[in-house]
Amino acid sequence: MANDSSPTHVVSCFVLRRDRGRDEVLLAQRSQRVRTYRGAWGAISGYVEPGVTPLDQAYTELHEEVRLERPDLTLLRTGAPLPFTDESIGQAWVVHPFLFAATPAALEKMQSDWEATETRWFAPNEFANLTTVPMLAEALARVYPADSTSHEGTRDGK
């Protein structure tokens, strides 16, 4: 399914919480029903649909996969796109990372869909102990640490 001439654009949405004495990021363990990286931990993610901006796609994925709406979220940072090729599956990707904070009420109502077998909160330094999708730590590094609430980073028009 690889197309060497045009990479597949995806969004990776990191949801941050700081209400339990440390920074934690929401990760989802990918189900056996998804196309790639089954069983691996990853951010809330999805393919960027034609004609949709990566940010709009990020909000769509957060709604579909964990039932979070735009008013539930604050965009903290937009990261520079991360291109890479996964030679093991012959697929070129461009990951568009985003960091969001969720309201306390939203944290209580989150519910995952069929794409994940489980969602769980992890401290960023715990990622190294997990089997993750490729380049997860690198994507997170483009938007975290989020010691400001600005919208810094690259905004792309795709």
Q: Domain with 101 in it: what CATH number?
A: 3.90.79.10
Residues of the chain scoring pLDDT < 70: 1-5, 146-158
- Report if residue 156 sits inside a domain: no
Three-state DSSP string of the chain = CCCCCCCEEEEEEEEEECCCCCCEEEEEEECCCCCCCCCCEECEEEECCCCCCHHHHHHHHHHHHHCCCHHHEEEEEECCCEEEEECCCCEEEEEEEEEEEECHHHHHHCCCCCCEEEEEEECHHHHHHCCECCCHHHHHHCCCCCCCCCCCCCCCCC
- Report if residue 91 sits inside a domain: yes
Q: In sequence order, what are the residues at sequence separation of 6 or more whose Cβ sits closer than 8 angstroms to the Cβ of residue 135? A: 82, 84, 93, 95
- Report if residue 155 sits inside a domain: no
* Cis amide linkage into residue 50, ω under 30° from 0: no
Read off the pTM.
0.86
Give the residue among 7, 3, 131 at the shortest CA–CA distance from 81.
7
- Report if residue 1 sits inside a domain: no
Domain count, the chain: 1
Domain span including residue 136: 8-141
Question: In angstroms, how far is the first alpha carbon of the chain from the final one?
Answer: 22
In this prediction, residue 150 carries a pLDDT of: 40
- Report if residue 123 sits inside a domain: yes
pLDDT, tens only, 23-60:
999 999 988 888 888 889 999 999 999 999 999 999 99
In this prediction, residue 126 carries a pLDDT of: 92
In this prediction, residue 87 carries a pLDDT of: 92
In this prediction, residue 144 carries a pLDDT of: 95
- Report if residue 137 sits inside a domain: yes
- Report if residue 24 sits inside a domain: yes
